[in-house]
Amino acid sequence: MKRLRHALAAFAALFLFVSAVRAAPAGAPYPVTLPAFPAGPQVLSTVAPDGATQRYSMADLEALGTWELTTSTFWPGDDGTYQGVLLSALLRDAGLAEAAAVRLVAQDGFSQVIPRADWVTWPVLLASRRDGGAMARRDKGPLRIIYPREMDGALHDAVYRLRWIWMLARIEAVAE
């Protein structure tokens, strides 16, 4: 029943967003249909404040709805077109959407806290693909956070640079 409610809420949000796409600012992500990832291992965990953990495969993540975003980044040669799920959709599915903040933890242990205002204010992308192809670790994959820099000049500020986590492995709810 919970999954059905999440699916209906996601559908309603998608419908509203698609209706507003014509008025979307430059650089905003838009929904896309991608070839499905084959069944595979779980690549991302989410941890709620009570310790409850959910695990997601690439196919699980993309089943939440896929979006495409073309943007510049902070790193030379890294600008591109990225595809993946909206961070807000994943957090909603995991029951973390109302958290004050989340800690993103990379495979190498690097972590960074993202305040709720980020995923509420901007359509932050949890990218699973670049230019339509899966991203290897050497390409900052398999999962990375992408902000829509072209939507808002504020996202060019250095404070956001550390929030572009790559090789993402875990997302934990935290009290800010």
Check residues 57 and 164 and name the one with the higher pLDDT.
Answer: 57
Topology of domain 2-174 in CATH is Sulfite Oxidase; Chain A, domain 2 (3.90.420)
The owner of tokens 């698609």 is 18
Tokens found for residue 62: 């993309």
Measured CA to CA, the distance from residue 61 to residue 90 in angstroms comes to 7
For residue range 100-145, list pLDDT tens digits in order: 999 999 999 999 999 999 999 999 999 999 998 888 887 777 999 9
Query: Which amino acid type is present at position 96?
Result: L
Give me the pLDDT at residue 9, please. Answer: 47
Q: Looking at residues 167-175, what average pLDDT do you find?
A: 95
- pLDDT-based confidence at residue 155 (cuts at 50, 70, 90): confident
Q: What does the DSSP 8-state code read for residue 117?
A: H
